[in-house]
Amino acid sequence: MVLLEHIRHRYDRAAVLNLPHLSIAQGEHHLVLGRSGSGKTTLLHILAGLLRPSEGRAVVAGEELGALRGDALDRFRGRHIGIVFQQMHLLPTLTVEQNLLLAPYMAGLPQDVERAREVLNSLDVREKAGSYPHELSVGQRQRVAIARAVMNRPRLLLADEPTSSLDDLRAEQVLGLLRERAAAHEATLVVATHDARIAGAFNHRLDLDDAPPTVSADASRATEANDVLGQPEDQPER
């Protein structure tokens, strides 16, 4: 489902990511670990087609992202990749429901109001459909961001630091929502974080602090945590 080969990326000649190989099967859940500046966000943006690596190839759902340009890349991303950004990026002038309907619109798909309400209901924020982002709690905004990411039934769901600023209980809840929604859509899930609290919830882990990065897969099953839609960018990870 995801294949990365000989990925290198540099900002102003400074290497920020060096990943010889990564292969992820459909439906698997992977955690990308690393301290700030290790290349986690850069890796997610490469997987999302928001950033072209300096070297190497990235294949998602059978498409080589480097071969797609302009509108074709935007449509592919919108239809097959869902992204939960660290800052959520909900548009303040749109209601919750309108923020969700923006996802199919940007992907060139019909705007399905019933689908939007179904997704909001599945995340217990259906009653907030007519509210604006500033009227929501932090937890509600996070749920809406997840709802928007799964609106188009993506094959790949990406989340950037979804738990790092949350307390233990909230972090467990958000992680559970991501895993649950990915499973409901049979999507591959990739979470990037420096939050070591959630490492035990994933069978598959990629540690970018290692040189070179190492991929691990636990023999045991993962336990639960407790036992926009963007444009291409060239800014270094903070």
CATH number at residue 12: 3.40.50.300
Contacting residues for 141 by C-beta, under 8 A, at least 6 apart: 88, 90, 133
Instruction: Kindly state whether residue 162 falls inside one of the protein's structural domains.
Output: yes
Tell me what pLDDT residue 214 has.
63
Residue of 210 and 204 predicted with greater confidence: 204
Instruction: Kindly state whether residue 71 falls inside one of the protein's structural domains.
Output: yes
Instruction: Kindly state whether residue 135 falls inside one of the protein's structural domains.
Output: no
Segment 63-90 mean pLDDT: 94
Q: CA-to-CA distance for 19 and 12, rounded, in angstroms?
A: 18
Segment 45-54 mean pLDDT: 96
Tell me what pLDDT residue 45 has.
96
Look at the alpha carbons of 142, 151, 229, 46 in this order and tell me if their dihedral is positive or negative. positive
* Residue 231's pLDDT band (cuts 50, 70, 90): very low
Instruction: Kindly state whether residue 50 falls inside one of the protein's structural domains.
Output: yes
Instruction: Kindly state whether residue 103 falls inside one of the protein's structural domains.
Output: no
Instruction: Kindly state whether residue 27 falls inside one of the protein's structural domains.
Output: yes
Tell me the residue range of the domain where 44 lies. Answer: 2-91+154-217
pLDDT of 229 above 50? no
pLDDT of 183 above 50? yes
Closest to 101 (Cα-Cα) out of 141, 146, 148, 136? 148
Instruction: Kindly state whether residue 102 falls inside one of the protein's structural domains.
Output: no
Q: CA-to-CA distance for 230 and 114, rounded, in angstroms?
A: 24
pLDDT of 235 above 60? no
Q: What is the pTM assigned to this prediction?
A: 0.87
Segment 82-96 mean pLDDT: 94
Instruction: Kindly state whether residue 61 falls inside one of the protein's structural domains.
Output: yes
Tell me what pLDDT residue 48 has.
97
pLDDT of 55 above 50? yes
Residue of 65 and 216 predicted with greater confidence: 65
User: Percentage of the chain surpassing pLDDT 90?
Assistant: 73
Beta strands, E only, 98-177: 156-160
Segment 130-137 mean pLDDT: 97
List, as own/partner pairs, every contact residues 50-53 make where C-beta atoms lie below 8 angstroms and the sequence separation is at least 24, other chains included.
50/77, 50/230, 50/231, 50/232, 50/233, 51/9, 51/232, 51/233, 51/234, 52/232, 53/7, 53/8, 53/9, 53/17
Task: Indicate the average pLDDT of the chain.
Answer: 88
Count of domains observed in the chain: 1
